[in-house]
Amino acid sequence: MLTIAAMDHIVLNVRDMDTMLDFYMNVLGLKGERIEAFRQGQVSFPSVRISADTLIDLFPVRSASEAAAAPQAENLNHFCMVIEPTDMHQVIAHLKAHGVVVDEGPVSRWGAHGNGTSIYFNDPEKNRIEIRYYAD
């Protein structure tokens, strides 16, 4: 019997690696992994860590033909990352200071742990992101 226990990683196709690494590390505060090894050609992609158990792999699209063959954004509606309970207006101000437009929220939405407070925005390559917290 197959029993799924957790999400290990998601993979985003990336056209501008430096911009995406800057966004995920410096705007969202995720820890980069394997970045120097990627830049030195030792590994084929870097990652950013969401938690001890979950990564976002940033897979480079290197040519126009690879870009055309890569899955498009409509294949992914959005992905959601959980933050500690906080004042979402401060989070929105932080994102705005980095040029990020929050296009929805704060709103209450259903998720893995019941209802939470969420905001929605796009990364530099138009992947839709939801950030939420659960009150308890």
pLDDT value at position 61? Answer: 87
Confidence of residue 97 (pLDDT cuts 50, 70, 90): very high
Closest CA to 84 of 15, 131, 41, 26: 131
Query: Closest Cα to residue 78, out of 109, 48, 99, 49?
Result: 109
Residue written as token pair 């929805």 = 104
Give the Å distances, CA to CA, from 44 to 12, 66, 97.
13, 15, 32
- Return left, alpha or beta for 126; rule: phi > 0 is left, psi -120 to 50 is alpha, else beta: left
**Least confident window among 1-5, 42-46, 125-129:** 1-5
Q: Give 24-73 pLDDT, tens digit per residue.
A: 999 999 999 999 999 999 999 999 999 999 999 999 987 656 556 555 54
- Give me the amino acid identity at 71: P
Asked if the domains 1-70 and 78-136 are classified in one and the same CATH topology, the answer is: yes
Q: In this structure, what token pair is assigned to residue 95? A: 């994102």
The domain locations on the chain are: 1-70, 78-136
pLDDT score at 6 = 78
Rounded to the nearest angstrom, the gap between the alpha carbon of residue 15 and the centroid of all alpha carbons in its chain is 15
Instruction: Tell me the pLDDT band of 77, cut-offs 50, 70 and 90.
Output: confident
Higher pLDDT, 101 or 114: 101
CATH T-level assignment (fold) for domain 1-70? 2,3-Dihydroxybiphenyl 1,2-Dioxygenase; domain 1 (3.10.180)
Supply the pLDDT for residue 43.
Answer: 94
Tell me if the domain spanning 78-136 has CATH number 3.10.180.10. Answer: yes
